[in-house]
Structure 1
Amino acid sequence: MHRTDSHAVAQATHDLGSALWFGGSVMGAVGVNSSGDELPRSIDRIRVANSAWGRFAPIEWLGIGAAVVSGLQLTRVGTRRIALQKGFGEATAAKAVTMVLGIATTAYAGYCGMKIAEIAEQASQEGRLLEVQDAATPTGGTPTELARWQRRLRVAQSLVPVLAGANIAFGAYLSQSFRPVATARGVMRRIQRH
């Protein structure tokens, strides 16, 4: 396989993995969390969302893994460009930081969801009153600890699409910098700086 072919495969894999991560996180935060809000029992609202997230999580992590592995391949292919083309190295570093923050935030959101399910199940088993608007939204009657984890989940789930989207945007910027005109400008700026 030619180098350009492997670059195209890595770029496509990266973009598809990132799109899965971004799209799934938006759909989950907007659709899954509130999917059970019409159910009469609060515990069922949490159970429905927890079940849906549990089914999607392996696919989401597969997308993230594909984006990471292919991103490393793209970085390897672009090492000379990082050294020669002004702005390429900085954008690559910013993309890497965004990716790491996005992965950490995704993991934290998953942890928050597990804590919500755990607290809700314990309250249900103990026969305590459990009231939530939906899986991620407390009401005035939501137990304090559960409400705290719901608020954390909402913040994390709001950040994940922002970070996953930034990862896609940086990837698009880096792809465009492979155009001959962009390459020439970046090299000229690097030369003029020295």
Structure 2
Amino acid sequence: METDTFSRASHDLGLAGWFGGTLANAVALNKAAGAASDASSSGRVANAGWDAWTPVNAAAIGLHLVGSVGQLVGNGERVKGQQGVASMALVKTALTAVALGATAYSRVLGKRVSNAEDVPVSDGTTPSTSTPADVAAAQRQLKVMQWVIPAVTGALVVVSSFAGEQQRTSNVVSGVARRAFGR
């Protein structure tokens, strides 16, 4: 497989896993944990699911980053010569940094919840009246963060799609001409 093809595939597959898995867990796992037989089991189920997802998510993120760097290196001349490509690369880099930060912060919060082990909760992101205060605070933050990551990675999917359109021959020619002739 060519480097460009490998980079694009790595970028896209990694991003798909990061976006899709996080969205699925937010939509299904956290709520499903609330269906456990008791409040302590709800926490255990949510923790088991998120702890199982973490290494897969890390691999998806790593694959995405390898592909992103490969694309940036492979498109170095386009970044320099085609109007709009450098800006697009900067937007993608910024969104990736935000998504990485949100993912890391969510993992810190998730570890705080997971380390509490059989703590009673209503579901994966909703404390019960008997949830310890530190775990309840982490859950309330996770309730927000579970949507931040799919929102930002979803924005990355959209921007990446637009960036792909910049590679069409007609867009390359007009972008290089605009850069060269200042229009």
Shared fold per TM-score greater than 0.5: yes
SS in 2 for 1:34: helix
Match of 2:87 in 1: 90
* Preserved contact between residue 106 and residue 157 of structure 1 (Cα < 8 Å): no
- The more displaced of 62-71 and 166-175 is 166-175
1:61 aligns with 2:58: yes
Q: How does 1:34-183 map to 2 (within 5 A)?
A: 34-119=31-116, 121=118, 130=120, 132-139=121-128, 142-183=131-172
* Preserved contact between residue 39 and residue 128 of structure 2 (Cα < 8 Å): no
* Preserved contact between residue 95 and residue 171 of structure 1 (Cα < 8 Å): yes
Larger radius of gyration: 1
Distance in 2 of aligned mates of 1:6 and 1:188: 27
Distance in 2 of aligned mates of 1:45 and 1:138: 10
Distance in 1 of aligned mates of 2:36 and 2:60: 31
Structure 1 residue ranges without an equivalent (≥5): 125-129
Please give the TM-score of this superposition, normalised by the length of structure 1: 0.87
Give the C-alpha shift of residue 120 in structure 1.
5.5
- The more displaced of 107-116 and 72-81 is 107-116
Distance in 1 of aligned mates of 2:50 and 2:157: 23
Identity level (%): 28
